[in-house]
Structure 1
Amino acid sequence: MRSQDHDRLFLSPPHLGRHEMNYVHKAIEDNWVAPAGPNLTGFEADICEATGVAHCVALSSGTAAIHLGLILLGVGPGDEVLCPSFTFVATANPILYLGATPVFVDSEPDTWNICPERLREAVVDRIAKGKKPKALILVHLYGMPARLPEILALAAEYELPILEDAAEALGSRFNKQPLGSFGTVGVFSFNGNKILTTSGGGALVTNDAELAKKTRFLATQAKDEAPHYQHSQVGYNYRLSNILAGIGRGQMGLLEDRVKKRREIFSWYQENLARLPGLSVALAPEPAGSCSNRWLTTILLKPADPDATPGTALVTPETVRRQLETHNIECRPLWKPLHLQPLFQAAPMYGGEVCADLFTRGLCLPSGTAMTDVELRRVAEALAECF
């Protein structure tokens, strides 16, 4: 069957439950349609309960949360911020917003997250050059916990504040502690493709009451206390709508079920794709203590065989992607490392071989929680045609 025979199968589409509309209707009926109201405060309380963090500020996007988080950590013009290269551009763009410079660090091959050994190399070298990094952005890629014990110890040793980018990792845990709760500030995304969504939205969490207060201040145009509009510093229009927060309230009650379903989808792929000779389901083993939400199931193509017959066709990620497109199945490459992006060509980079190899060989498969067994088989059959 070809594309015209099936509806489009998306990578990670929104999946609404039964209660979101109740909160949205209530907001409209009560005229709470501004970036304030009961849904907003309720959504923030739900996030605090799910993450075990004391304070939450719901914002217009995860990117906005990273931007404000860096401001809270004192990042400004001329500073340097440590950041994994293997991540979405939204992780690093806010560094540029502030006139700072990202210092990129390679991944390690087990979790694909920032490599502690390369990270130490970067910190030592930047200090030797007289540029101690102002902060570390720690990403949990595709929901997989990074190597937290080593990274937290290194950050403490060099007194590096951590902004924990858990945009893809809501519901993931390390040693039973929710991700997003390990840094000075944590960040979540509720974009339409995430495990839970508010259509567009994000959140900043912290255990520091003063940082939470400052976040709300900056996110609402930095209005000073006065009967008129008084402003002493730059502010932003970053608060989440009360209507969208209503969607979030309905979604938060589904978190446990959504994580369970994503993990089941990963296990299904792992079992049913194992027989394909040129392919391995990536991120298979969870490091000790880790529990990933398996936001996206990812695959790696095995490296080319140097002893293969000359002229043998090489199956590449683009070959696979195009093949799945003929079946109307969305499939995307892994993140292109940021040090290979034209936007960041002048930024320092430590390592690079691991994340470049992952990008060259990897793909993300449809992983939406509304997927049926029939749809999973459809993906597996399309992949089988490639090998």
Structure 2
Amino acid sequence: MSERIYMSSPDVGDLEEQYMVAAIRSGWIAPLGPDVNAFEAEMAERIGVEHAVALSSGTAALHLGLLGLGVGPGDVVVTSTMTFAATANAIVYTRAEPYFIDCELETGNMDPTLLREALERLMRDGEKVAAIVPVDLLGKAINYTEICTIADEYRIPVLADAAESLGAAHRTRAAGSFGRASAVSFNGNKIMTTSGGGMLLTDDVELAANTRYLATQARQPVAHYEHIDIGYNYRLSNLLAALGRAQLTRLDDMIGRRRAMRERYRELFAAVDGVEIFGGVDDEEDNCWLTSIVVDSVAAGWHPEDLTAALLADNIESRPLWKPMHLQPVFSGARGLVNGNANRLFERGLTLPSGSALSESDIDRVLSNLSEFIGWRS
């Protein structure tokens, strides 16, 4: 069988090796160290925020961000239903209740109109909405202009889940710089990676300090080990921070390669009835982390599952869009405001190989399989 082609495998090379070897030779093997400090400073400068706290995952950033906003038992946190489970899980870690909001059909991002309607209902019923956690889907920043305006009207803090949108922007302002804080992810399949890792980004000095405190087991600043709060082992290691620093220098180039792949797909599907690139043509500020198509099976004459099977026959990975949180068994009893858009995207969407590490032979193989499938179906 042919070698596996993944949707978004890590893109690492000689530069990452040099940074990692230098970190090892420095002797800073234990968690924290000069590369963590430098990584935080470089990321804060890139995004345009005052503070960055390097953590073990994007989920950790969401968890500690929520705790820093005072979220706790009995609270409601309004979030996107079209997302990966980590968003909702972090809310549950605080013992708050996730309340799911459906998406815009064109973008998959939280629908501002539904958000306002949900807040009106919750407030009318006397419930405490402690935070709003909107999600930037597949590298497209949400409409922060509208979402943050609504949040300000109701005096509810926004913790932006920017795990998928590092390098993207909304109206020229960097994703990761919105709300009281933003969480980004450096997981292995993300736009840039530290293998595992994440970061909380904020202009709030107290929120940043509290995040650092909780992430290091809430240890008091005394000679012995003293603890008055429950803490977490959530800090990023110095070695992984070194990897992240190398990746950050290459971020724009990696985004460019992903964008070029999207354009190849756009050209290929332009003449195919019933198929469009997810997110539409308005993607100038996207980071193009993953490229998906949306299939109208009646017009196209085939289903996303048919294409999945054809690609799998040549060992090429593809995947449906996120299964909405309100459809997940673990959240079957959760409340929310849905209109069917997320369901439709889950049923009709398919994500294709999009990584910046794809070789030219990989790209040719993917496009050849797609062309053969399209031609046969036509």
Range class of TM-score, shorter chain: over 0.9
What is the deviation of 1:324?
Answer: 0.6
Question: Which of 85, 99, 104 matches 1:103?
Answer: 99
The 8 Å contact of residues 106 and 278 in structure 2, kept in 1 or not, is answered as no
Q: Which residue of 1 aligns with 2:325?
A: 338
Question: Which of 161, 178, 182 matches 2:178?
Answer: 182
What is the deviation of 1:148?
Answer: 1.7
Distance 2:100 2:297 in 1: 25
Q: Does 1:294 align with 2:299?
A: no
Matches within 5 A, 1:24-63: 24-63=20-59
Instruction: Please state whether the residue corresponding to 2:129 is helix, strand or coil.
Output: coil
Question: Which of 275, 279, 284 matches 2:275?
Answer: 279
Q: Which residue of 2 aligns with 1:369?
A: 356
Q: Which residue of 2 aligns with 1:71?
A: 67
Aligned residue identity for 2:364 = R
Q: Which residue of 2 aligns with 1:311?
A: none
Q: Which residue of 2 aligns with 1:265?
A: 261
The 8 Å contact of residues 171 and 293 in structure 1, kept in 2 or not, is answered as yes
Instruction: Please state whether the residue corresponding to 1:169 is helix, strand or coil.
Output: coil
Higher mean displacement: 334-343 or 318-327: 318-327
Q: Which residue of 2 aligns with 1:21?
A: 17
Question: Which of 113, 128, 132 matches 1:132?
Answer: 128
Instruction: Please state whether the residue corresponding to 2:264 is helix, strand or coil.
Output: helix
The 8 Å contact of residues 17 and 251 in structure 1, kept in 2 or not, is answered as no
Do the aligned partners of residues 281 and 166 (structure 1) sit closer, same or farther apart at CA in structure 2, a change above 3 Å counting?
A: same
1:41-78 CA-to-partner distances (Å, cap 9, x unmatched) read 11111111110111001000000110001001111011
What is the deviation of 1:16?
Answer: 1.0
Q: Which residue of 2 aligns with 1:347?
A: 334
The 8 Å contact of residues 186 and 204 in structure 1, kept in 2 or not, is answered as yes
Matches within 5 A, 1:155-170: 155-170=151-166
Distance 2:219 2:79 in 1: 31
Distance 2:155 2:14 in 1: 46
Q: Which residue of 2 aligns with 1:317?
A: 304
Instruction: Please state whether the residue corresponding to 1:187 is helix, strand or coil.
Output: strand
**Structure 1: tracts of 5 or more residues without a match:** 309-313
The number of aligned residues is: 374
The 8 Å contact of residues 191 and 255 in structure 2, kept in 1 or not, is answered as yes
Matches within 5 A, 1:99-248: 99-248=95-244
What is the deviation of 1:240?
Answer: 0.5
**Structure 2: tracts of 5 or more residues without a match:** none
Distance 1:224 1:90 in 2: 29
What is the deviation of 1:86?
Answer: 0.3
Instruction: Please state whether the residue corresponding to 1:151 is helix, strand or coil.
Output: helix
Question: Which of 314, 325, 329 matches 1:327?
Answer: 314
The 8 Å contact of residues 192 and 247 in structure 2, kept in 1 or not, is answered as yes
Aligned residue identity for 2:331 = F
Distance 1:204 1:187 in 2: 5
Higher mean displacement: 103-112 or 274-283: 274-283
The 8 Å contact of residues 113 and 140 in structure 1, kept in 2 or not, is answered as yes
Distance 1:301 1:328 in 2: 22
Distance 2:361 2:277 in 1: 20
Higher mean displacement: 113-122 or 268-277: 268-277
1:262-307 CA-to-partner distances (Å, cap 9, x unmatched) read 11111111012222334222212227xx6000100110111435xx
Do the aligned partners of residues 303 and 150 (structure 1) sit closer, same or farther apart at CA in structure 2, a change above 3 Å counting?
A: farther
What is the deviation of 1:373?
Answer: 4.0
Distance 2:272 2:302 in 1: 12
Aligned residue identity for 1:292 = D
Higher mean displacement: 20-29 or 228-237: 20-29
Aligned residue identity for 1:139 = V
Distance 1:11 1:178 in 2: 25
Distance 1:325 1:358 in 2: 21
Question: Which of 368, 372, 376 matches 1:381?
Answer: 368
Distance 1:174 1:279 in 2: 26
Q: Which residue of 2 aligns with 1:90?
A: 86
Instruction: Please state whether the residue corresponding to 1:141 is helix, strand or coil.
Output: coil
Distance 2:103 2:216 in 1: 36
The 8 Å contact of residues 107 and 278 in structure 2, kept in 1 or not, is answered as no
Report % sequence identity: 46
Tell me the TM-score normalised to structure 1 length.
0.94
The 8 Å contact of residues 273 and 380 in structure 1, kept in 2 or not, is answered as no
Distance 1:167 1:141 in 2: 9
Alignment root-mean-square deviation, CA: 1.5
Aligned residue identity for 1:366 = P
Tell me the TM-score normalised to structure 2 length.
0.96
Distance 1:28 1:128 in 2: 57
Aligned residue identity for 2:267 = E
